Amino acid sequence: MKKTILITGTSSGIGKATVIEFAEKGWNVIATQRNPEKETDFNAYNNVKLYPLDVTNLNSIVTTIQAVKEAFGTIDVVVNNAGYGVDGAFEAMTDEIIEKQFNTNVFGLMRVTREAIKLMRPQGGGMIIQISSMGGKITFPLYSIYHATKFAVEGFTESLHYELAQFNIKLKLIEPGPIVTDFYGRSRQFVKPNDTDAYDSFITKFNDAAQNVMKDAEGPEVVAKTIYTAVTDGTNTMRYAVGKPGPMLLILRKILSDKLYFLMVRKSYKL
Ligand code: NAP
């Protein structure tokens, strides 16, 4: 029998590439989006079904999961992909900006996870894939709030896996490095103070170096393939690093002292 996967945030980037990866592998794919009426890229796949889902709106999550359950019976895998990044100077970030970032990347992911568990436990199991980031284990300048959300996703998921193993529900974390998507374009929220230029030189140096990193960045298909591996490899591996230079940086962070890691980051961004 065909397996069913539900993915959040599939209008672009990693979410869209993951829909296509699983559709081409013959799965039933539930592609969810905030505004699915705009979507046309999945028309070629009759095994892809579009549903509305905004991770900040519990009602939309419950309604869609219920509708999918009625249509397909079970959901084997849920991918928590929806998310975006706030960057810039922390002192300019309002409560509203911080709360919205957490409401999407952390509380949204928790809501979907909770509703997925309620469905998967009685059905005898399933898998929940969290799209974290290399930024859930290591940090770079000017991403304090984004890192805080992804560090939260890592801790939440790691603790949760203990209680869900008894119900045959697996949890896995995908940790992408820099990936060419709308993350750095339309989805980005950049913040700096209006009343001072105190951060300008730091921000310019960081952005110049970051653009260089992006020249070598891979496309979202590489993450989609890693998600497919995580879902199908039959192991209990929890973390999958992907997207150069992410995997190498994660190893360096494990073996370097804080002092050496901070020095390496400062040097690479000329700070
Ligand atoms: P993207 O192309 O900007 O895609 C983000 C997706 O999330 C869009 O489909 C967006 O939908 C959706 N989304 C945002 N808020 C939502 C909400 N409240 N409810 C439902 N969907 C929502 O960026 P991406 O790189 O593919 O990002 C996907 C995930 O990968 C994120 O969790 C991100 O943190 C993570 N990640 C990205 C990178 C990277 O370098 N690109 C690296 C590590 C981790 P709309 O069209 O409605 O805005």
Instruction: Give residue limits of the domains in the chain.
Output: 4-268
117 CA to middle of ligand 1, Å? 22
Contacts of residue 133, defined as CB under 8 A and 6 or more positions apart, other chains included, come to: 146, 150, 175, 176
Burial class (CB in 10 A: 0-12, 13-18, 19+), 5: buried
> Which residues sit with their C-beta closer than 6 Å to ligand 1?
8-15, 34-35, 54-56, 81-85, 104, 108, 131, 133, 176, 178-179, 181-183, 187, 220
Q: How far apart are CA 164 and CA 158, in angstroms?
A: 11
**Taken in order 143, 148, 151, 153, is the CA torsion positive or negative?**
negative
11-16-22-26 Cα dihedral, nearest 10 degrees: 60
Question: Over its length of 271 residues, how does the chain's per-residue pLDDT go in tens digits?
Answer: 899 999 999 999 999 999 999 999 999 999 999 999 999 999 999 999 999 999 999 999 999 999 999 999 999 999 999 999 999 999 999 999 999 999 999 999 999 999 999 999 999 999 999 999 999 999 999 999 999 999 999 999 999 999 999 999 999 999 999 999 999 999 999 999 999 999 999 999 999 999 998 999 999 999 999 999 999 999 999 999 999 999 999 999 999 999 999 999 999 999 9
The token pair at 15 is: 């979410």
* Bridge partners, 79 (sequence order): 7, 129
**Alpha-carbon span 202 to 35, nearest angstrom:** 37
User: What top-level class would CATH report for the domain 4-268?
Assistant: alpha beta
